Structure 1
Amino acid sequence: MSTLMRTLRNLRRIGIKDYAHQMAYFENLEEELPLRTRWVDYKDKEFDPSQIEPGWHAWMSYMVDKSPAADPLLQRQIRVWEPKEHRPTLTWSRSGYKPYSTVKNKYSPWTPVAKPRA
């Protein structure tokens, strides 16, 4: 319980993105564990880690020290080729891409042929 109270006491909200999912980013500089001081709170319970924008991903993985809310270079600019809203990753879903295999199997499964009993 003391860890939770210490985290809440030292918590600093960095930014809330006005994006389709309204994620909140936090930082706790008083944490003793290295590289465990920044995290994101997703709006949905079934989140997709690819929803994090590139600038916030750089801040979350300690590539930059300033958050995109404080650094104008990391502000998200909508590019012409970029979709306006996040598209979910379909890798492990039924809609994911699965290539057609043209390779012949190396073995064929054994199917036992049994005579009917008399």
Structure 2
Amino acid sequence: MSTITRTLTNYWRIGIKEYFHQMQTIGDTKAGTLVGVDRLGNKYFENGEELPLRTRWVDYKNSDYDASHIEPGWHAWLAYTVDKAPSQDPSLAYTKRVWGDIDVKTIPNYTLTRGAYKPYSTTKSKITMWEPTAIERK
């Protein structure tokens, strides 16, 4: 959370609609310049006046967002791995591969759902469970 003066300054910069949108999504107010938009509609912002390592952020298009909704080039920019955004550096921009997805949607992250990947072993176990054999009483 931020100070009241910072919150009021950002409220004055971004307006009432964006203020409530940010409070619902990220829980804080931030004002910055739009750096770019990816193919999924996510908006990426930057503000050098923020605290260190909090100067870049993403505004997801959907409210049900996931980390897999960020493209690799934009993820590298958000994590401060590269200095230029994919909108400024063509080597980081998204290019469709032959083996890639057919449509724009990415493969969602199924962790902690029924669709999560669960590996299984096809080899025989070296340890077998003990099964007791009891003789019936007479």
> TM range, normalised to the smaller chain?
0.7 to 0.9
Q: Which runs of 5+ in 2 are unaligned?
A: 14-30, 130-138
Aligned residue among 13, 38, 43 for 1:24: 43
TM-score normalised per structure 1 = 0.74
Instruction: Please tell me whether residue 53 in structure 1 is matched to residue 71 in structure 2.
Output: yes
Query: Is 1:89 matched up with 2:109?
Result: yes
Q: Distance in 1 between matches of 2:63 and 2:43?
A: 14
Matching residue's letter, 2:5 = S
Structure 1: 5+ residue stretches without partners: 106-118
Please give the TM-score of this superposition, normalised by the length of structure 2: 0.64
Residue 23 of structure 2 corresponds to residue 2 of structure 1: no
The number of equivalent residue pairs is: 103
- Detail structure 1 runs of 4+ shifted over 3 Å in the superposition: 5-10, 99-105
The one-letter code of the counterpart of 1:29 is G
Following TM superposition, by how much is the alpha carbon of 1:3 offset from its aligned partner in structure 2, in angstroms? 1.8
Q: Share of identical aligned residues, percent?
A: 47
Amino acid at match of 1:37: T
Aligned-partner SS, 1:74: coil
**Given that residues 7 and 28 in structure 1 are in contact (C-alpha distance below 8 angstroms), is that contact kept between their aligned partners in structure 2?**
no
Name the Cα RMSD after superposition.
2.3
SS in 2 for 1:56: helix
Match of 1:11? Answer: 32
